[in-house]
A and B are shown apart, each in its own frame.
Chain A
Amino acid sequence: NAGVTQTPKFQVLKTGQSMTLQCAQDMNHNSMYWYRQDPGMGLRLIYYSASEGTTDKGEVPNGYNVSRLNKREFSLRLESAAPSQTSVYFCASSPRGDQPQHFGDGTRLSIL
């Protein structure tokens, strides 16, 4: 049982390039989330999806788009990467919004 799987684990991009981070969960969870983790700032919510077909903005959505492809998959897209988006990105899921979240291993993204 893999839980939450994120791909890729590492990526280096040049400013202006686009990139999609993939996330899949095999726990039949309804809710999925994307966070970024920056030194001294903890985890900040980018976008979340309460159920298949719905998405909502979190605390720091600018520069990102998401797609809830189906119940299992929730992708995060950077259309035009900027150095300020250098971060570690975490995907998480939960059975529903008021339940504890399960996290993936993270994607370390560097924008040059």
Chain B
Amino acid sequence: AQRVTQPEKLLSVFKGAPVELKCNYSYSGSPELFWYVQYSRQRLQLLLRHISRESIKGFTADLNKGETSFHLKKPFAQEEDSAMYYCALLLFGNEKLTFGTGTRLTIIP
């Protein structure tokens, strides 16, 4: 079965420093991968998906099939980036998203 691993439950980064939230998946095919974010007192919302190749709020994520990773990166952290981040995997032809356990990112002023 497919699995998504986010090894860091908590991550603290100083404002202005680079951010990397790790995500690894286990699946031998070609998945679609997403990052969802939940800011304090807000709904879980889509941050980005790998097929769109967009940069949202300064975040990017590259799918590395060799390492089965989809790490989320931002060169300069901002205080408003503090939130819970979830990596999620969707198999083509399958309706179900598989979520990782999430990483709580805290930006230190």
- Seen from chain A, the residues whose Cβ lies within 8 Å of a Cβ on chain B are 3-4, 31, 33, 35, 40-45, 48, 50, 56, 58-59, 90, 92, 97-98, 100-106
Contacts and interface: CB of A to CB of B under 8 A. Distances in A.
A105 B43 CA distance: 5
B49 A40 contact: no
B57 interface: no
Contacts of B92: 98
A40 B44 contact: no
Contacts of A41: 101
A74 B109 CA distance: 42
A97 B9 contact: no
A97 B6 CA distance: 23
Interface in B20-46: 32, 34, 43-46
A40 B46 contact: no
Nearest to B1: A59
B13 interface: no
A48 B98 CA distance: 13
B64 interface: no
A42 B90 contact: no
A15 B39 CA distance: 32
Interface residues of B, number: 21
Contact of B9 (A40, A45, A58, A100): A40
B101 A103 contact: no
Contacts of A42: 6, 86, 99-102
Contact of A50 (B34, B95, B98): B95
A83 to B, nearest CB: 22
**What 7 A-B pairs come out closest when comparing CB atoms?**
A97-B95, A42-B101, A103-B44, A43-B99, A42-B99, A100-B46, A103-B43
Nearest to B96: A45
A58 B44 contact: no
A42 B6 CA distance: 10
Contact of A100 (B6, B49, B96, B102): B49
Most buried by A among B6, B34, B96, B97: B97
B99 to A, nearest CB: 4
